[in-house]
Structure formats: C-alpha cells, structure tokens
Amino acid sequence: MQYITLDQLISELDLEVIYKATDAVDVRIFSPEIYRPGLPAAGYFEKFEPERLQVIGNSEWHYFNHLTPEARYESLDKFFAYPIPALIFSRNLEIFSEVIELAKKHNRTILRSALPTSKLINELINHINFAIAPSTTVHGVLLEVYGIGVLITGVSGVGKSETALELLIRGHRLVSDDTVEIKRVEGQLRGQSPALTRHFMEIRGIGILDIERLYGVGAVKEYEFIDLIVELELWDENKIYDRIGLDEETSEILGVKIPKVTIPLRPGRNTAMIVEVAARNNRQKRLGYNAAQALNERIMKEIEKREKKFNQQ
C-alpha cells in the first residue's frame, strides 16, 4: 500500500515544526483525507477520524480561544489521547501553551503553516494524493508539444533524444529525458523527471546537456499529463504500416489507455515534424474531429451516390 511519511510531508510542504514527536519518522500517512476537529473540540468523538491529519483553522482556534485554560486543557487532553498523525495550525495562528504541553505528554507532532485553511487543506490533499498514487517508470522522453503531453518511446539508440532536441529547437518543452516517472492521478497519467536528472538530456556524440541553461526556463517543464505515446522504430520492409488511421492503437500504462502512434524511421523523414503533426492530430481528435473518419465518410457517400446513379440507369 502506498503512503507518505510525516517527515516527507513536513519537508516537501515546508511546514513549521512546533513540536516533533519522538516517533515522527515512523508515522505513515495512507489517506489524503483531512479532518478539522471542531466536533471533537466540543466533546463529540463518535465520528472522529484520528488516523487523518488534523487541521486547526480560524473557527477551531477561536473556539479554543474562548475557553478557559482549564476547559481548553481538558478538551485537548481528550483529543490528544487519540493517535493522530499530526496537528497542523493554519494562518500562522498562535499555538496555545496547553497544546505544546499536551503534545509532549501524549507524544504528538504539532506543525504550522502560513497558508489560509482552505488552501492548506487543498495543498495537503493534492500532495498526499500524488505521493500515494500508483506509479511506474518508463524508458523514453516526455515533452509538451502544442499543449499535448507526448511520450516518445522506442529501443535504445533509435533517436528519441535527438527527436526531442529538434522539438525543443522548434519551441516545445522538455519534461524528462531517458527516464520518465509516471503516476496515475484521478484517471490520468502524470509524468515527470527524476529529481536527479531533471532538465538534463543525453545526446550520443556530445554528452550531457543542461536544457534549461542552453535554451532557457521556457524550454523545460516540471511535469505534464500524458496524452499521446509516439513509438519510434526502424523501418521494417516486411511490416505493413497504418496509412489511413482508422484503426486507432492504444497503449496501457497503470490501467489507463493512451492513444499511440508508431513512426517508422528511415533517411529523409523529418521525425520531429511528424511528431508535431501527430500531436496536432491528437488534439483534433480530442475535440471531436477525426480526419480519417471524415475522409472515409466522404468516400462512402461518393460510393453510395454512384451506386444510386448506376441503379437508376
């Protein structure tokens, strides 16, 4: 089962640590659900979800602020008795002294963020959702081409990086070269580069290139959702390649089917230009227009028209 550790969450979202439990390194978060403990603060624990991250916003803070120190201590003592992963204060709200005292007593982690409550909750949900999403790694190059996420695949040495470099020169953006980390997020595939190799590209004969430094920040992107897979392969004289496009091919990654085109390579073919056309054509199909179907319908109408004319003679 996928999870994110509390330490990871603290580091990646830059949360302020007010008090850290001694077992914080072992705390694992399996669910993106967030709980605002307004009812538990009032003493109602029947539907309390202690396994979730707990967030204190303005409403909860003002409720506690209106309590006497004794009543606040009693309410929080019952709350901290449950094994919560962490309690997070939003809006840089002041931390009550009773909170720190009881956090030490029950060994609970207390965090704080400057973000407004709704934005903090959205950040937590999105971050945890992405961290625990099903994932895989694919050998290929991921780019954004005309707003379409294009994953270029093929055997080693077929020319994936060289094609990607030509596309960069044409104004498109690189997400990852060689290794693409893919996660399934809400039914879509989101690809990104490993942090270690982000924005770098290998070109045989030249070596490693820093694309951000060579072409500027506009030539790179941190992540992209995959809309099209383009497989490059060496031309095979014995293979029949699709020349019409009526039979749409797909490839399945993490249970999600993605449209796929296969481009045979031979001298004289402008592969980068073909990838651009494939991306444009994919966008047209997503908008409801399929050129192959349109031509097929036109041909069928012409055949029907001629058959009708022939039958009338």
Q: Provide the annotated active-site residues.
A: 139, 160, 178, 243
- 3-class secondary-structure state, position 186: coil
Q: How buried is residue 94: exposed, middle or buried, by Cβ count under 10 Å (0-12/13-18/19+)? A: exposed
- 3-class secondary-structure state, position 183: strand
Check: CB of residue 207 under 8 Å from CB of residue 151: no
In the structure encoding, which two tokens stand for residue 153, read together? 């695949």
d(CA 140, CA 152): 6
d(CA 277, CA 300): 26
Cα 49–Cα 52–Cα 57 angle in degrees, nearest 5: 95
Q: Going by DSSP bridges, is the β-strand pair 228-234/148-153 parallel, antiparallel, or unpaired? A: parallel
Give the E-state strand segments of the chain in sequence order.
4-5, 16-19, 28-29, 34-35, 53-56, 87-89, 110-112, 135-139, 141-145, 148-153, 173-176, 179-185, 188-192, 200-203, 207-210, 223-225, 228-234, 249-253, 256-265
